[in-house]
Each structure stands twice: as structure tokens, then as C-alpha cells.
Amino acid sequence: MVDSLNPFVVSGKIPQEYFCDRVEEAAQLEKSLRNQLNVVLTSSRRIGKTALVDFVFDKPEIRDNYITISVDILHTTSFREFILTLGTAVFESVATRSVRLRKQFVTILKSLSASFGYDPILNVPTFDVRLGDVQNPEYTLAEIFHYLESVNKRCLVVIDEFQQIVYYPEKNVEAILRTHIQKLSNANFVFSGSRRRMMEEIFFSSKRPFYQSAKALRLEPIDHDIYLDFATNNFEKSGKHITPEAFTHVYNTFWAVTFYIQRIMKDAFAETSVGATCDINMVKQLIEDYIDENDSRLREQLSFITESQKELLYAIHAEQHVQSITSSEFNKKYRLRSPSSTQSASIKLLEYDMITRKEKIYSISDPLFNLWLDRKNV
């Protein structure tokens, strides 16, 4: 017997038939890009920004008429590393399309030409550039964009976790990028980020270089009823069943965060035999198993923060939602050191994305981490 293909995809590109909702958001993103607009795409983490962009990029109208380039800069810590990551993505997405485009890439990127490798069998250059080879980041950036201008199809570039540039030691990165991007006539950008407050500051503060340079698109969680229908229908297509109570429990437990819902639904689908029903007891056990699976990783997260940061983290977890973390009442209740120490700790926890602040309310960022803290009784 051949197992049913699991319709709840959690990694890689999601086939069109297994993509849940986002009809309106996908249409908005596609329309903006086809009308040569840059887009700033924001949401909480794991809501589905990358999946949405991949979904739109894979549409025939986009795939057949544009060159799409995806750049994830979450791991980068400097402008030089940004340039290396961007250059690598452009080489792999554009230059590898033909021998002509490879050679053109080497010809235009003179600042890195000495660092390129060569494949004698295929008779083509290879991208063997290392971080130390990027000596003049701004000049190399100009060369990369000059290359994008030279290709024969319009380019669509998504830069994921764009707010990371704020943490670079170089202080003029936003101005440099804005200056070069506004000169491009053959490319448009999707600036994607999971730190909404920071992304809004970058793009909607009149004091910043990127002010009003991109159309805003905000991803909210998928509606419960739409997601329930999606899950139920995919179970039913394979002769399986899931109770509404089971799905709702997963949806609420993980605060409607797409990635976690998909993961538990994927496990539930795999555990449910043809003709059988996934009930609330099954998903509760699967959630417990998933917390166990992530125990070491979450424990390691705590090992990197200070004692005062842990104290504040545990206090926010206990309250769930805190409006004033520097109030004397809150600090006394949880025996925190001082309002100033609490403020300093909050800045770091926000930076580490362990807590979030929305409309001046502080809470734990990650529902899985919140569940793990529940289990630890901290």
C-alpha cells in the first residue's frame, strides 16, 4: 500500500494545491511587483512570509517573465557579510542560467574577479568568494546592481529578515542601500521582516532613508474557519478524519502561528490511519512530543541570556501580557532588581526575539517557548 502524500508541508516550497488561503495577500503582492513597486512585507515569525513569496514567485505569470532571487540575511552581522550573501544569491539565481551570464557576472564584478574560481570541465567561472575577499562593500554592491541592470529579464529580489541591517556595526547601511536601489530600473524588491516595529521604523519614519519607498503588506494569522476547512478537507481526501475540537486546540495553543499548526497537523495526519479519526487527545500528545523534541534547543536559548534577563522573561511569562515592565508594582511583585535594570534587560530580550512588544504590551514571542516555560513552571 502506498502512503498518502502528506498535505501539510513544513519545509521547502509548498505546492499550489497544498497552500492554505492567502488569496488576497498573494494577489496584492503579485500586483505590486508586476506594477514595479517595492513591497515591505511584515508579520510575526513563522506566520508564512517566505512561503507566500515563494508561492507568488512560483506562479507562471511571475516564473516565466521574471528572474526571482531570494536572499536570507538573518545570519549576517556586517555589511560585508550582507554583500557576500547577496552576491552569492545573485550568482546562483541569475549567473548560473547560462555561460554568457556567468562570464558577464565575472566581467562586471571587477572588485571580486581575482577571487572567482574556474571549472575546467564546464569551462565556466565558479563563485568561490569568501568574506575576506569583500574589501570595498559599497563598490561591490554597485557592481552587483549594475549586473542586475544588464540582464535581459526584470529581476525580483526578496531580502528576508531585512531588519537585520540595523544591527550591523556600519552606521550608514540604510542610506547606502537606498541610494543604490532607487537607481535601479530593472529590479524590484520585497523587504521581508518579522520585527514589525523595527521594519515600520525603517520604512515609515520620515527620518530614515527608506521612508515611503515601499508599499506595506502585513500578514495576519490565517482565519480559524478557513484553516479548519483546509485541514478537514485534506484529511478527508485521504480517507481520514479530524475533529473540529482537535484542530481548534492546536490553533489556539499555538496562537494561530502557521508553522506550528502545519507541523502538528503533519504529525497528526501521519499518525491517523485511513478510516480513523484524529481527536483532541491525539493532538495533545503530539504537542507534548513536539515540546520534548525541542527541549534541548529551548534550554540552550536560556543559557545565552543573563540572570536579570531570565528574571524578566519569567515575569513576563507569568503575567502573559505586561503593559508597564518598569512600574514599581510589576518589579516588586516579581522581585526584579530595579526599573532601570528591567528596561535594559527588555532591550536585549527584544533584540533576541524572546519577547515582543505590540501596542506597548510585552509578551513571549514564541508560543512553543511559552509552552516549554509552562512545563518548567517558571
**Half-sphere exposure of residue 346: CA atoms within 13 angstroms, side-chain side:** 23
Tell me the percentage of the chain whose pLDDT exceeds 90: 88
Compute the residue count for the chain: 378
As a whole number of angstroms, the distance between CA 141 and CA 136 comes to 9
Report which of 103, 102, 186 is spatially closest to residue 146, judged by C-alpha positions.
186
Q: How many CB atoms lie within 10 A of CB 277?
A: 13
Q: Which residues pair with 192 in a beta bridge?
A: 41, 160
Residue 16: strand, helix, or coil: helix
Using the CB atoms, write b or e for 218-240: b if 16+ within 10 Å.
ebebbeeeebbebbbebbeeeeb
Burial class (CB in 10 A: 0-12, 13-18, 19+), 304: exposed
Q: What nine digits make up the cell of 106?
A: 565575472
Q: In degrees rounded to 5, what are phi and psi of residue 103?
A: -65, -35
At residue 336, the pLDDT reads: 95
Under-50 pLDDT residues of the chain = 1-2
Alpha carbon of residue 33 to chain centroid: 19
Taking the C-alpha atoms of residue 326 and residue 29, their distance in angstroms, rounded to an integer, is: 40
Phi and psi angles of residue 19, each rounded to the nearest 5 degrees, phi first: -95, 125
pLDDT tens, 6-38? 999 998 889 989 999 999 999 999 999 999 999
Compute how many other C-beta atoms are within 10 angstroms of the C-beta atom of residue 340. Answer: 9
**In this predicted structure, what is the pLDDT of residue 2?**
46
pLDDT digits (tens, 9 = 90+) for 321-376: 999 999 999 999 999 999 999 999 999 999 889 999 988 899 999 999 999 999 98
Q: Which residues pair with 103 in a beta bridge?
A: none
190: left (phi over 0), alpha (psi -120 to 50) or beta: beta
pLDDT the model gives residue 302: 93
pTM: 0.90
How many helices and strands (H and E) does the chain possess? 17, 11
